[in-house]
Amino acid sequence: MSRCQKIVQLSYRAPVIGILIAAFMALPILLAGCSSGNSDPQNFNSLVQNWIKHMQGGHSVVTQARNLFATDNPDTQRAAIAWMARQKWGHEKPYMDAYRLAESSPSPLVRGQALLALGTSGQPSVAPDLQRGLTDPSQFVRLCAAMAATYVHNPILIPDLITRLHHDSNAQVRIYAAEALRSYKTRPVIETLINALDDSNVAIVQAAWDDLIFQTGQKFPQHSGPWQLWLQAHRHEFRTTG
């Protein structure tokens, strides 16, 4: 059996993204190997596409997998990431690795969509990726990172979410940061949410108030005064860290 035939046989068992990532990284070796010995020279791109078509029995996944690496077309790449993340297998390791590769894109559209794809996995291990996204210079990327954080529970996110809620220039980022803090019942989080009740943005106030009701079981008015008094009497009930 030739070297190329062995590669094809093994590749039928691999996920689509695994094939593509391996293919791009191993292109020079594969081309050299497939054109030497007793095997006929083959067009590598055609070979890869034939593997995928054979394995999938269709073209939809093929197209989206190709688009996932369309670095010259950010909107196409973003759409492919969104499509992949919605599939039942879209949060398996090969796909998560592909989303992480997309985090380094120069396009905010692609970086943001990659963070959403990682976050909607619900895997705590993506928290460092979201931390980086929360400090991105792009408002869109920070928004996606904050939204993604609402799906992930990992206490290392708390300081960055508090910073975003206090200081971000984008109101929607602040709203998502407040919503993401809902699952962390710590004293710094409660204090941050109470302070947010005095914000000028009604949506931020509402998000913080909903969080406080959920975390404390209390239902004081939507301003900080009564909540501050209550917290002074109940500070011992809350941890200082996550």
Residue 215 within any structural domain of the chain:
no
Residue 78 within any structural domain of the chain:
yes
Count of Cβ atoms closer than 10 Å to residue 37 Cβ: 9
Residue 217 within any structural domain of the chain:
no
CA distance 76 to 42: 28
Count of Cβ atoms closer than 10 Å to residue 25 Cβ: 10
pLDDT tens per residue across span 207-228: 999 999 999 999 999 999 999 9
72 and 153 together in one domain: yes
Instruction: With 0.85 as the threshold, say if the pTM is over it.
Output: no
Q: Tokens 């943001």 belong to which residue?
A: 112
75 and 152 together in one domain: yes
72 and 38 together in one domain: no
The range of the structural domain enclosing residue 147 comes to 68-158
* Boundary of a domain, candidates 63, 85, 117: 63
Residue 201 within any structural domain of the chain:
no
Contact 207, 175 (CB under 8 A): yes
| CATH number of the domain that residue 137 is part of | 1.25.10.10
- Number of domains the chain is built from: 2
pLDDT tens per residue across span 106-131: 999 999 999 999 999 999 999 999 99
CA distance 164 to 173: 7
**DSSP string for residues in 173-201:** HHHHHHHHGGG--BHHHHHHHHHHTT-S-
